[in-house]
Structure 1
Amino acid sequence: MNRAGLRAIRAGAFSALIRPRAMIVLGLLTMAGVALMGFGLIHGSLPIPGSAIGRALFMPESLSADARYIVMDIRLPRLLMAALCGAMLGMAGAAMQSIARNGLADPGLIGVREGCSAAVLLMMFQFPALSLFWRPLMGMAGGVLTALLVVVLARDISRPRFILIGIGVSWALAAAMGVFMTTADVRDVQTAMLWLAGSLHAASWPLVGMAAAWAFPAFALLLLTARAADVALLGNPAATGLGVRTSRLALLRVFAPVMLTAACVSCVGSIGFVGLITPHMARLVLRGGQAALLSGSAVLGALLVLLADNVGRLAFLPLQLPAGIVISLIGGPFFLLLLWQRRDRF
């Protein structure tokens, strides 16, 4: 284990193998994320001194009402939502790529994101009086139904046609949403278009709390099944022989990414490519099994969305670009590169 860079830790009946190097890298990435959040709190259309940030967090009564409102009610919820949604999408993408055994798998590419978006738009247009609490439920219903449709049509989630069928379903749902929005009221369409672009401008403390309430159970589910997922990568016969119930594991590890994607889409709209990019980045900077991949993808996803939101918010002042558009500028070429690398596998 020493040669492989592994160290055993034990706490009573609990034991685990960790890689100190991976823990250091995760710690550095987390510190970079905290630094990005600090940068975002300080900079904006109204710059706030760094010394005022600490007072806003720990002694809010010492600041003016305007500065306190900007830091505590606008910027901090927005940055926390960016980090949380990035972590959700990164971990969802890592889990989906693992269960599908395909580096192109991503909840957005198999239609889950579009299914969630279509369900939430239906609720927003047809049932505007419903509270925010119903958005994740509607989004999850749309995402689950879409995922089931793709699985039934593909019949095998480990083959490339799973991704191709998912892309086709995504396009069909996107076309349906386009038809739906062209017939809706113009004011509703403007709100929906901004939401679909993946904007974090409407982030608030209730939305952060709602996203966290759905995210952390899914995080725990994926991390608790990480060791079984490592065994499942050996193949179904070997995993079954080692005591892993592969069908139940696959069900859990497909449901968790759908839950994470639905919660993210319900809160901030459609942010694409994060779940596709970050697992590949995590494999480059981290070694290890599913636990390391999931954790690294979550941290890198948070970093990516935080960076995209800061760029979209600050680079074009007084205009602001939604984070989803900034990430798409990076994710589109990255996806084409992955397709080119796998051009002989389809």
Structure 2
Amino acid sequence: MSQSLHRAGFRAFRVGRFSRLWRPQTACWGLALLVIAAGVLLYGLMQGSLPVPASAIGRAIFFPEGLSHEQLYVVRDIRLPRLLMALLCGGMLGMAGAAMQSITRNGLADPGLLGVKEGSSVAVLALILLFPAAGVALRPVVGMAGGLLAALVVLLLARDFSRPRFILTGIGVSWTFAAGIGVFMTTADVRDVQTALVWMAGSLHAATWPLLLVAACWALPAAAILFLTARASDVALLGNQAAVGLGVHLPWLMRLRFIAPVLLTAACVSSAGSIGFVGLIAPHMARFLLRGGQVTLLSGSALLGALLVLVADSIGRLAFAPLQIPAGIVISLIGGPFFLLLLWQRRDRL
């Protein structure tokens, strides 16, 4: 047994009575991705309409004395919350996609393909247009209600997580809610429509510290649910009979791992609009690079999703300056062909 684990790349890590298996290759990939994300974050803080030298970034965050008011404002109040929001939204969408693909046992599953994103968008859009004085703290609550409603409709119509019909039903529900968004766009005031269009495209330009705090407060409990149920989810992948025999309460596990991705997606949509395909791409990249169980998959998907959104936002913000392209559009240019490739690979199973 130990020789088989050793050949598979696992090593034992022991500290006193604590013992755990780990894969050095996975740890190296994770560390490399963290370094890349930190480098992109630093580059994003430095570049823009007002270039800021790297030596001033640390001072702007920790020792603001001696910097000009303009540099301090640009780094701390504009760029830093925007880049952190990109990391947070990408991480939330990556984890949501990994959980959806695990619970449905379908590599095509993604909150954006199951109507969750559109349901959240309709609810948040209605709040913005009909109740403009409502605070940002209400957006995740309303978005979660809309996303959960869409997910429940898909579940009731498909009646099963694991069949391809679940994905196809989700696409149909997504189109239905997209039609609802179109109704809002054609009946609202032109100024409200312009604001809503930028938000729906997945733009992070309006990120602020209060909005970042609200999104983090909703994301943390949902992420905790996924990680706390990760081991039970690994067991559930062995099959329903084996999972029940090993003591897993499948109905509660399914409910928790169904609600948590909806909450993560709603928090992201409420904060940054509709950013598609991250939940589809990041888990596949995580499986290819990192491998391992649910804990590794969730961690890797969150890290890769955060990196995807961060890079997309940096490209949209800097490549066409002074114009800014929303991160959602940049990711869609990559995600569309990626989704078609996955459909082609699974053409005999749909």
Offset at residue 12 of structure 1 (A): 7.6
- Paired residue for 1:284? 288
**87, 93, 118: which is aligned to 2:91?**
87
Work out the CA distance in 1 between the residues paired with 2:131 and 2:18: 48
SS of the aligned residue for 2:172 comes to helix
Shift of 1:11: 6.5
- Residue of structure 2 in register with 1:329 after alignment: 333
Match status 1:339 vs 2:343: yes
Offset of 1:45 from its aligned partner? 1.1
User: Pick from 66, 70, 81: which aligns with 1:66?
Assistant: 70
- Aligned match of 2:220: 216
3-state secondary structure, aligned to 1:17: strand
Once the two structures are TM-superposed, the CA of residue 345 in structure 1 deviates from its matched residue by 1.2
Given candidates 106, 113, 122, the residue that maps to 1:109 is: 113
Please give the alpha-carbon distance, in whole angstroms, between the structure 1 residues aligned to 2:19 and 2:164. Answer: 37
Task: Give, as a single letter, the amino acid of the residue that structure 2 aligns with 1:86.
Answer: G
Deviation at 1:4? Answer: 2.6
Deviation at 1:17, TM superposition (A): 2.9
Residue type at the aligned position of 2:92: M
Matched, 1:175 2:182: no
**Would you say 1:98 and 2:88 are equivalent positions?**
no
Q: Which moved more, 1:250-259 or 1:17-26?
A: 17-26
- Counterpart of 2:202? 198
CA deviation after TM superposition for structure 1 residue 343, in Å: 1.2
Aligned-partner Cα distance in 2 for 1:164–1:260:
22
Q: Return closer, same or farther for 1:103/1:14 CA change in 2, 3 Å cut-off.
A: same
2:12 and 2:243 map into 1 onto residues whose CA distance is: 23
Residues 1:155 and 2:159 are matched in the alignment: yes
Cα deviation code 1:188-234 (max 9, x no counterpart): 11110000000000001011111111111111111111111111001
- In structure 2, what is the equivalent of residue 253 of structure 1? 257
Please give the TM-score of this superposition, normalised by the length of structure 1.
0.98
Q: Which amino acid aligns with 1:203?
A: A
Residue type matched to 2:69 in 1?
A: A
Query: Within 2, Cα distance between the matches of 1:108 and 1:331?
Result: 11
Deviations 1:17-67 (A, max 9, x none): 322221221111011101000000000111111111121122112100000
* Aligned position for 2:31: 27
Letter in 1 for 2:126: L
Identity of aligned residues (%): 69
Pick from 135, 140, 145: which aligns with 2:139? 135
Rounded to whole Å, the distance in 2 between the matches of 1:32 and 1:95 is: 25
Equivalent residue of 2:113, what SS? Answer: coil
Q: Secondary structure in 2 aligned to 1:182?
A: helix
Give the distance between the partners of 1:88 and 1:237, measured in 2 at CA. 31
The aligned amino acid for 2:247 is: G
Superposed displacement of residue 14, structure 1: 6.2
Q: Quick one: which of 222, 226, 246 aligns to 1:242?
A: 246
Query: Could you say what secondary structure the match of 1:244 adopts?
Result: coil
Say which of 302, 308, 311 aligns to 1:304. 308
Q: Report the CA distance between 1:341 and its aligned residue.
A: 1.1
**Following the alignment from structure 1 to structure 2, what is the Cα–Cα distance between the partners of residues 174 and 11?**
53
Shift of 1:15: 5.1
Query: How far, CA to CA, are the matches of 1:260 and 1:272 in structure 2?
Result: 13
What's the counterpart of residue 129 of structure 2?
125
Structure 1 stretches lacking a partner, 5+ long:
none
